[in-house]
Every structure is written in structure tokens, then in C-alpha cells.
Amino acid sequence: MDTFARIDKNIVMRNLDAIREAYLNLMTSDKQFIDSIELSTSSTSMINIRFKKWNNAIDSILSTTSKEPRCFSYELKEILYKKNSTFAICNQKIIDIDDSALDHIEQYWAGGKTIPENARLTHRYCNNARSRFDAYTNKSIITVFWRFTYKI
């Protein structure tokens, strides 16, 4: 694929996380892309589908001229923790602010903005372990983590 040959390396490097997420999204969520791999790898039309979808994904990521900040401020984290230290997904209390993380409700790689209205307080572990595509569909993972860590 010629995708990265036509783009400045520094621009690509600044967007590695978003590129990786776009690739994973195509491989796991885009039925037409998946079918173009599973059903036929040598068909010209299937190859064109893969190239077009991949290039569109890359172009949509790299077409933004300015990048918003990726991380929320510690000050916002403190405000949300003091306001309500219960994790909205599993309804478990976050014991210490250092056990928490601020999560983008609409994920950053998918265009979510790093603004207070798009932030939620999460357990650090749960946030790092969650699926990028279907956040917290498996609450048993959170329950097992909670019981193991806090020995309830």
C-alpha cells in the first residue's frame, strides 16, 4: 500500500494511536472490509475495497490540521472525583483519586473532544482494560477486578 509513502513521517508519527485504532476498527467492525479479506484476497474488486477503505480512514485522520489535547487536566479529575467518586459504569466507589482515570465518553480516536462534557471518572484498571469499540459490555471483568483488588 502506498499510504505512508505519500505522507510526511512526522505527521504519521503524531497520529499513530488514531491510525492503529482505525486499522483495528476496520479489521473488527467493517463487514465489507472483513469480507474483502476473508472471501477473496486476490479479486481486483476486493483489493480495491481494501485500499479505498484504508486510504479513506488514513485521510480522515490526517486531514485535521490541528490536534486537540489528548489528556484531561488533573484539576478536572479532582473536580469530578469530589463531585461523585462512584464509577458510572460499574457503580463501584473509587477509593483513591490515584486509582482513577478520566475517560473520553466519545473516544478520542473516534473524534471525541477533550472537554469536560466528554469526560467521565473511571477506575484506572477498567479504563485501560476496556474494549475500544464496545465499552464495558462485559461487567463481570469489572466485578472480578473490584473483588480482587478490594477483597470484598
* pTM, full prediction: 0.47
CATH classification at residue 95: 1.10.30.50
Show which of 62, 91, 106 is a domain's final residue: 62
Cα gap 63→77, rounded to integer Å: 31
Domain count, the chain: 2
Do 26 and 90 lie in one domain? The reply is no
Show which of 37, 62, 87 is a domain's final residue: 62
Res 123: pLDDT: 87
| Residue ranges making up the domain that contains 23 | 3-62
132 contacts: CB under 8 Å, gap ≥ 6:
21, 24, 25, 107, 109
Show which of 62, 87, 102 is a domain's final residue: 62
Do 58 and 78 lie in one domain? The reply is no
Do 125 and 86 lie in one domain? The reply is yes
* Residue 67: inside a domain: no
* Residue 146: inside a domain: yes
Res 28: pLDDT: 86
Do 90 and 117 lie in one domain? The reply is yes
Res 124: pLDDT: 79
Res 131: pLDDT: 60
Res 148: pLDDT: 43
Q: Which residues of the chain have pLDDT under 70?
A: 1-2, 64-68, 88, 130-152
Alpha-carbon separation of residue 39 from 33, 42, 117, 125 (angstroms):
10, 9, 42, 38
* Tens digits of residue pLDDT in 74-116: 899 999 999 988 886 778 898 888 888 888 888 877 778 889 9
Res 140: pLDDT: 40
Res 51: pLDDT: 92
Question: 37 with 148: CB under 8 angstroms?
Answer: no
* Residue 69: inside a domain: no
